[in-house]
């Protein structure tokens, strides 16, 4: 085997090796992209389901003609919605609810249900972080 033939064989082997490495890297990238896309879709679906569940509970509570007192309602909702810290309402700036003081956390009114102004209801989700 002469030197030119060895050099040509080495370049052919190097070219095929690079093609194989590129193909393997692309396959790994596609697999990672697919796993990320699937995981993010699952997370989005779970968050959407939880949001719809919370909105349904709030809509049901708002639709009751004689809603139960927050002190009685909170213990029954707590097992199904463990993220609730408290349930109640602000009447003339005074908290009345299942806890002595309003739960700490972000205030969230039901502005979509009451476009005429802020709702006296207060629902505070438990932080997960």
User: What's the pLDDT tens digit per position in 37-50?
Assistant: 999 999 999 999 98
Q: What are phi and psi for residue 54, nearest 5 degrees?
A: -65, -45
Mean pLDDT over the full length of the chain: 79
Rounded Cα distance, 98 and 85, in Å: 9
pLDDT at 27 over 60: yes
Predicted pLDDT of residue 68 = 79
How is residue 22 written in tokens?
């590129």
Predicted pLDDT of residue 106 = 55
User: What's the pLDDT tens digit per position in 84-124?
Assistant: 777 777 777 777 777 777 777 655 554 444 444 444 444 55
Rounded Cα distance, 41 and 61, in Å: 30
Q: DSSP strand E in 1-129: where?
A: 84-91, 94-97, 121-125
């Amino acid at each position: 085997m002469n030197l030119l033939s060895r050099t040509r064989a080495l370049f052919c082997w190097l070219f095929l090796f690079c093609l194989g490495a590129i193909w393997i890297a692309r396959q790994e990238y596609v697999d990672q992209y697919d796993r990320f896309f699937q995981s993010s879709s699952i997370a989005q679906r779970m968050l959407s389901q939880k949001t719809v569940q919370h909105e349904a509970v709030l809509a049901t509570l708002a639709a009751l003609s004689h809603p139960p007192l927050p002190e009685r309602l909170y213990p029954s909702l707590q097992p199904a919605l463990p993220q609730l810290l408290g349930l109640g309402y602000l009447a003339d700036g005074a908290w009345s609810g299942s806890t002595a003081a309003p739960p700490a956390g972000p205030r969230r009114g039901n502005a979509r249900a009451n476009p005429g102004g802020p709702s006296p209801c207060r629902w505070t989700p438990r932080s997960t972080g």
